[in-house]
Chains A and B, each alone.
Chain A
Amino acid sequence: MISLKYEAPSSLGDAIALLARASGTSRVLAGGTDVIVQMETDLIEPDLVVDIKKIPDLRGIAMENGGFRVGAAVTGMELTDHQAFCEAWPGVVDGVKLIGSMQIKGRATMGGNLCNASPAADSVPALIAAGAVARVAGPDGTRDVPVEGIPIGPGKTSLRKGEIVVSFVFPPRPAYSGDAYLRMTPRTEMDIAVVGVGVNVTLDAHGVCAAARVSLGAVAPTVLLVEEAGAALVGSRLDAPALDRLAQAAAAACRPIDDKRGTREYRIKVAGVLAKRAAALALERARQNP
């Protein structure tokens, strides 16, 4: 950190221009709960930090085309205090609530959680299950990228130079929809997921699953969208055989590491178990949401 520069532009265009023309290492600063830790522990030595919290586009929670649009720099506390969002997407809120302590949630953002590109990020499986889209702005304009298209490996994203995730766009919520996120950690708080599962289901008027998305965290280099696991639920009433098929599909998709926090076998087993529990919780919420 020989000559670090800090900029806090108030417009998206200025932020993109700063990042696009920067030489050396630059970082976007939202809540700083990963970036500042990486700076403090000398993992990164950026030449430029662009604080995006003064850009209005990144800060609000609004309705757009019947769904929510959430600024990428909205903090965890702001999101979990937003009653209408909590009612619409309790599973996304489950994930955000697990990001660190209350102090961390006072600063941490979903945009940062996604762009830090940890396979164990707690909000990301829930965002992917929700079918959320990241609205990305850069020197070549704006593009919409499904959330699962952003991380490409641990700490790596598909964002191009100068690009910023501006907001998350959530689809309109049909009747009888519910979502859930569960994670396994050795401790109940202040820990990193050994496995995380996001499930989002929509039932028809007869209680049959019309659509389902399942996403797994911490069992592969990136958070996974597991289409086979969602397909295992569609057409069912999420009864025991359907949940068994879900668990098998979830376990089959795992390519986990083996480390002190969870062996490979353990993570694969737990992925199936947690997927069933998350699906049961999503089902319960969907039934209460006519």
Chain B
Amino acid sequence: MSRKYHVATMVNGDEYEYLCEPQQTLLDVLRDELMLTGTKEGCGTGDCGACTVMVDGTMICSCLMLAVEAGGKKIETIEGMAKGEELHPLQRSFLELNGSQCGICTPGILIAAKALLDRNPDPTETEVRYWLAGNLCRCTGYDKIILAVLAAAREMRGA
């Protein structure tokens, strides 16, 4: 048995403490220890983006970060995107424009899309497609996803 490591971290503004084994990923701990199951596991090897979360303002695949590395970090997951009952404009846009089909890729895509719009409020369609290249949708609903991101961007700019 590996020894357990004590980690104190911040997730969606709340303080969390957990014990983890060194080989456990942040994704494992978010889902299985903290019960934040909004973040999904797709490939587990950093190819699909389903497990995308923000760590200290940078988006990463949570399957490729060890849980023990998260000490003292600020983590944002899909659970923190809506403000109570009020959905984020991206979430509303995905609902209205059918940006979500089976839904497995949706949390990761929403996190990634929000990271893009926080950096660039007025992206071109090409910029959205390249930014989201690391988020795979097995339903292949890419067009509606891109349209939903562009519509949310317009709304957020007040355009």
Contact = CB atoms under 8 A, between A and B. Distances in A.
B66 interface: yes
Interface in B56-88: 58-61, 63-66, 68-69
A104 interface: yes
B59 A106 contact: yes
Nearest to A39: B23
A4 B68 CA distance: 12
A33 B58 contact: no
Contacts of A5: 2-3, 22
Nearest to A1: B23
Task: Select the residue from A4, A31, A53, A102 with max chain B CB neighbours within 10 A.
Answer: A102
Task: Select the residue from A1, A103, A190 with max chain B CB neighbours within 10 A.
Answer: A103
A36 B64 contact: yes
Contact of A41 (B1, B23, B45, B55): B45
B5 A6 contact: yes
B61 A103 contact: yes
A100 interface: yes
A33 B46 contact: yes
- What size tier do the contact residues of chain B reach? 20 to 34
Interface string B73-112: 0000000000000000000000000000000000000001
Task: Select the residue from B21, B44, B46, B68 with max chain A CB neighbours within 10 A.
Answer: B46
Contact of A107 (B45, B49, B60): B60
B133 interface: yes
Contacts of A257: none
A103 B112 contact: yes
A101 interface: yes
Contacts of B59: 102-103, 106
Given A103-B134, A104-B134, A75 B58 contact: yes
Given A36-B25, A51-B69, A102 B112 contact: yes
Interface in B1-33: 1-3, 5, 21-23, 25
Nearest to A6: B22
A104 B22 contact: no
Contacts of A40: 25, 44-45, 63
Interface string A86-107: 0000000000000011111011
B47 A190 contact: yes
B59 to A, nearest CB: 5
A32 interface: yes
A77 B60 CA distance: 11
A101 to B, nearest CB: 2
Given A37-B64, A77-B58, 11 more contacts: A6-B22, A32-B69, A37-B46, A101-B46, A102-B134, A103-B52, A103-B61, A103-B112, A106-B59, A107-B64, A189-B134
